[in-house]
C-alpha cells in the first residue's frame, strides 16, 4: 500500500515527524491513544492537538505545527466533519501537502471512505448539521459574510474529497486497534526513511555491493550489540558508505536516549577511543539490538574500540566501469564520457588510482573544459598533485607514526 502522497523525496528538516488530526470525542481514548503510545516507544516526534481550550479560529501556533510536520495522519471518524476545527485543520493540511510537499496518510476509522469523499451517510449528516448551524447571528459574530462562508464550505468539501482520494487505511470494527496502528506505524517509518534529505543516490556509484557486505556484518536480525569498523585511507569513501548504510537501516532503530535503547550510531573519522567514550562510556550499556559503525584511517583504533577483526571492512578504491561512471557524473553530468573523451577520461581515472575523492575533484575540475586543457592539466598533475587531493591525502600522512 502506497501511503505517501508526496511527489518528492527530498525534504528539509522539520520540527515534528508527525501531526495527528482527529476528532477527540471519537478517538482520543481509543485509536489515537494507542497510536501516540507506539510513536512514543519508537521515539517518533509527534504533535497532538488535544482539542482543549479551542477558540473560533485555528491558532498561529497550530498552523505552524502543521507546516513544521513531515507527515500528517488524518483519522476520519463519524464525528470528524461535525467539527469546524477539524475541517479547518484538514484544509491547512491539504494546502501543506501541495505547498510544502507534506506526506498525508488518511485513516478511515469505522467509516467508509466513500462517505468522506461525498459527505454522505452518518459522516455527511454531521457535516450538513455543522453547515446549517452557521446562521446569520453566528456569521455576524465571526464577522463573516455569507459569500465568505460559502467559500469556506467549498474549501471543506474539496479538502474532504481530496483526502479521501489518497491511499490510506480503512479499519473494521475489531476488539483492538493495535493491528491498524502497526500498519500506520510501518508507513510512517518508511516515509521518514525515504524523506531523509539526501538526493545524491545517482552519484553513489559502485556502493551497492559494499552496503550489502557491511549490512551482513551488522546482522540487523540479531539481538545483541554489534560494532562494525570501516577502515581505509582518507578520501576512499568511508564517510559516504557509512552515511549510506545508516540511511538504509535507520528506520529500524529509535532516535531517543542511548541508555538501554536500541540505537544506530555512526562515529565518523575516529582517531582515538576517547572520541567514542565521550558519548558512550560502555557499548554494552546500549539496548539489545543496537548497532555501531566506526570509520577510521587507523585499524588499531577499531580494535581499541572493541571491534572484532571479522567485523572490520577494508575500503578499497573504485576501478573499471564504476570509476569511469563516477568520474562522468562530475565531468559530464551523465553516467558516461562525451564522445571523443573516452581516452582522456580513462587516463584521468587511471591517474586517480581508484580514490573516489580524487575522481570527484578531477571530474569537477575538467567539467566544461576543452581537450587542450585536459591534456595540459594531465601533464601537470603527473608532476604536481591537485591541491584539494593533496590536502586530504596529507591528513592520512600526518596520522602515520615515524615507522609507518
What's the predicted TM-score (pTM) here?
Answer: 0.51
Share of the chain above pLDDT 90, in %: 28
d(CA 108, CA 293): 41
Q: How high is the pLDDT of residue 87?
A: 95
Q: What pLDDT band is residue 6 in, cutting at 50, 70 and 90?
A: very low
Q: Is pLDDT larger for residue 317 or for residue 389?
A: 317
Q: What is the mean pLDDT of residues 115-119?
A: 95
Contacts of 43 (CB under 8 A, 6+ apart): 254, 255, 256, 261
Check pLDDT > 80 for residue 306: yes
* pLDDT, tens digit, 9 for 90 and up, residues 49-98: 765 445 556 678 888 889 889 899 999 999 999 999 899 999 999 999 88
Cell of 28: 482520543
User: Choosing from 15, 56, 89, 137, which is the catalytic residue?
Assistant: 89
Q: What is the pLDDT at residue 5?
A: 36
| Tens-digit pLDDT profile for residues 139-187 | 998 899 999 999 999 999 999 999 999 888 988 766 788 889 999 998 8
Alpha-carbon distance 175 to 173, whole Å? 7
Give the pLDDT mean for 298-317.
90
Residue pointed to by grid coordinates 461525498? 118
Residue 344 contacts residue 336 (beta carbons within 8 Å): no
Q: Which of 67-76, 100-109, 217-226 has the weakest average pLDDT? A: 217-226
Is residue 106 very low, low, confident or very high in pLDDT (cuts 50, 70, 90)? very high
- Domain ranges for the chain, please list them: 16-194, 201-314, 320-398
State the Cα–Cα distance between residues 337 and 378, nearest whole angstrom.
17
Choosing among 3.30.70.20, 3.90.1300.10, 3.40.50.300, 3.40.1160.10, the CATH entry for 201-314 is 3.40.50.300
Q: Which residues of 271-283 are buried (b: 16+ CB within 10 A; e: fewer)?
A: eebebbeeebeeb
Of the CATH numbers 3.40.50.720, 3.40.50.10140, 3.40.50.300, 3.30.450.40, which one belongs to the domain with range 16-194?
Answer: 3.40.50.10140
Query: pLDDT-based confidence at 271, cuts 50/70/90?
Result: confident
Q: Could you report the per-residue pLDDT of 34-54, keeping only the tens digit for each? A: 999 999 888 888 998 765 445
Neighbours of 100 (CB within 10 A): 16
Report d(CA 12, CA 68) in Å as an integer: 10
| Spatial separation of the C-alpha atoms in residues 272 and 102, rounded to whole Å | 42
Q: Which of 240-249, 276-285, 321-330, 335-344 has the lowest mean pLDDT?
A: 276-285
Q: Is the pLDDT confidence value at 252 over 80?
A: no
Residue 12 reports pLDDT greater than 90: no
* Range scoring the smallest mean pLDDT among 244-258, 269-283, 362-376: 244-258
**Contact (Cβ atoms closer than 8 angstroms) between residue 24 and residue 83:** no
Sorted by sequence, the CB contacts under 8 Å of residue 52 that are 6+ apart come out as none
67 is catalytic: no
Q: How far apart are CA 344 and CA 365, in angstroms?
A: 14
Of 25-34, 179-188, 389-398, the poorest mean pLDDT is in 389-398
69 pairs with which residues across the strands?
16
- pLDDT over 80 at 257, yes or no: no
pLDDT at 281 over 90: no
pLDDT band at 7 (very low <50, low <70, confident <90, very high): very low
- Geometric angle at alpha carbon 237, from 236 and 242, rounded to 5°: 145
**Per-residue model confidence (pLDDT) at position 195:** 64
> Taking residues 303-310, what's their average pLDDT?
90
- The cell numbers describing 53, all together, are 481550550
Rounded to 5 degrees, φ, ψ at 213 are -65, -40
Q: What is the pLDDT of residue 242?
A: 86
Same fold, 16-194 and 201-314: yes
Per-residue confidence band for 1, with pLDDT thresholds at 50, 70 and 90:
very low
CB 145 within 8 A of CB 154: no
Amino acid at each position: 500500500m502506497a501511503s505517501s502522497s508526496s511527489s518528492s523525496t527530498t525534504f528539509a528538516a522539520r520540527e515534528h515527524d508527525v501531526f495527528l488530526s482527529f476528532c477527540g470525542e471519537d478517538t482520543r481514548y481509543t485509536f489515537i491513544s494507542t497510536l501516540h503510545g507506539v510513536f512514543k516507544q519508537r521515539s517518533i516526534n509527534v504533535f497532538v492537538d488535544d482539542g482543549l481550550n479551542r477558540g473560533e479560529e485555528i491558532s498561529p501556533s497550530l498552523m505552524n505545527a502543521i507546516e513544521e510536520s513531515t507527515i500528517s495522519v488524518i483519522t476520519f471518524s463519524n464525528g470528524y466533519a461535525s467539527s469546524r476545527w477539524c475541517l479547518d485543520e484538514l484544509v491547512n493540511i491539504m494546502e501543506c501537502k501541495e505547498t510544502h510537499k507534506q506526506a498525508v496518510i488518511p485513516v478511515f476509522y469505522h467509516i467508509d471512505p466513500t462517505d468522506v469523499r461525498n459527505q454522505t451517510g452518518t459522516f455527511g449528516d454531521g457535516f450538513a448539521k455543522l453547515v446549517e448551524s452557521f446562521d446569520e447571528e453566528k456569521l455576524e459574530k465571526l464577522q463573516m459574510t455569507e459569500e465568505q462562508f460559502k467559500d469556506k464550505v467549498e474549501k471543506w468539501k474539496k479538502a474532504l474529497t481530496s483526502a479521501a482520494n489518497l491511499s490510506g487505511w480503512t479499519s473494521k470494527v475489531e476488539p483492538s486497534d493495535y493491528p491498524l496502528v502497526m500498519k500506520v506505524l510501518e508507513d510512517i517509518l518508511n516515509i521518514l526513511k525515504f524523506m531523509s534529505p539526501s538526493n545524491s543516490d545517482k552519484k553513489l556509484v559502485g556502493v551497492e555491493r559494499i552496503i550489502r557486505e557491511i549490512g551482513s556484518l551488522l546482522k540487523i536480525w540479531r539481538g545483541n550489540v554489534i560494532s562494525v569498523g570501516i577502515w581505509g585511507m582518507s578520501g576512499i569513501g568511508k564517510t559516504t558508505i557509512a552515511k549510506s548504510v545508516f540511511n538504509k537501516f535507520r528506520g529500524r532503530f529509535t532516535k531517543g536516549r542511548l541508555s538501554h535503547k536500541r540505537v544506530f550510531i555512526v562515529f565518523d573519522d575516529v582517531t582515538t577511543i576517547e572520541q567514542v567514550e565521550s558519548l558512550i562510556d560502555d557499548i554494552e550499556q546500549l539496548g539489545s539490538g543496537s548497532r555501531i559503525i566506526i570509520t577510521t584511517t587507523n585499524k588499531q583504533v577499531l580494535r581499541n574500540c572493541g571491534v572484532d577483526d571479522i567485523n572490520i571492512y577494508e575500503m578499497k578504491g573504485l576501478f573499471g566501469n564504476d570509476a569511469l561512471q563516477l568520474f562522468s557524473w562530475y565531468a559530464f553530468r551523465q553516467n558516461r564520457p562525451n564522445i571523443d573523451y573516452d581516452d582522456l577520461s580513462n587516463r584521468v581515472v587511471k591517474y586517480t588510482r581508484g580514490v573516489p575523492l580524487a575522481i570527484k575533484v578531477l571530474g569537477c575540475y575538467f567539467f566544461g573544459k576543452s581537450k587542450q586543457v585536459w591534456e595540459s592539466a594531465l601533464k601537470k598533475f603527473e608532476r604536481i598533485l591537485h591541491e584539494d587531493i593533496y590536502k586530504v591525502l596529507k591528513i592520512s600522512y600526518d596520522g602515520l607514526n615515524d615507522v609507518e
